[in-house]
Homo-oligomer: A and B are copies of this chain.
Amino acid sequence: MKLVIVVVQDADSTKFLDALVENNFRATKLSSSGGFLKSGNTTLMIGTDDDRVDELLEVIKNNCQNRKKFVSPLSPMGGNVDSYIPYPVEVEVGGATVFVLPVEAFHQF
């Protein structure tokens, strides 16, 4: 048994939770904030058999991997029009931090 703790961005969490259910993993979601550079994250605790850890890592990678994305900036809304960039800009989204912890005993009552 392992306890896998995964911190993901809020933007990815719904899709990721769906994928966990589809792949028959059970997760508990903890309210979290910070990490210092990223706004809005979610922490999940997932208990899994040792022999499914690699499968779980695949699910995490497929749904949460850090990637670049083009977004259209909002109109300047009363800001400085001179600094308004009228074309899509590339930003980084997603990313997951994963800790695989050993479990000495697991019980369900």
Total count of chain A residues near the partner, CB < 8 A: 46
Chain A at the B interface: mostly helix, strand, loop or mixed?
strand
Q: How far is the CA of A49 from the CA of B107 in the complex (A)?
A: 18
Instruction: Judge whether A89 is part of the interface by a CB distance below 8 angstroms.
Output: no
Specify how many copies of this chain sit in the oligomer.
3
A5-B3, A109-B64 known; A26 vs B17 contact (CB < 8 Å)? no
Q: How far is the CA of A5 from the CA of B47 in the complex (A)?
A: 11
Contacts A2-B104, A28-B97 aside, 4 further interface pairs with beta carbons under 8 A come to A28-B43, A30-B30, A96-B108, A99-B106
Chain A residues with a Cβ under 8 A of chain B: 1-3, 5, 7, 17, 20-21, 26-36, 41, 43, 45, 47, 53, 57, 60-61, 64-66, 94-109
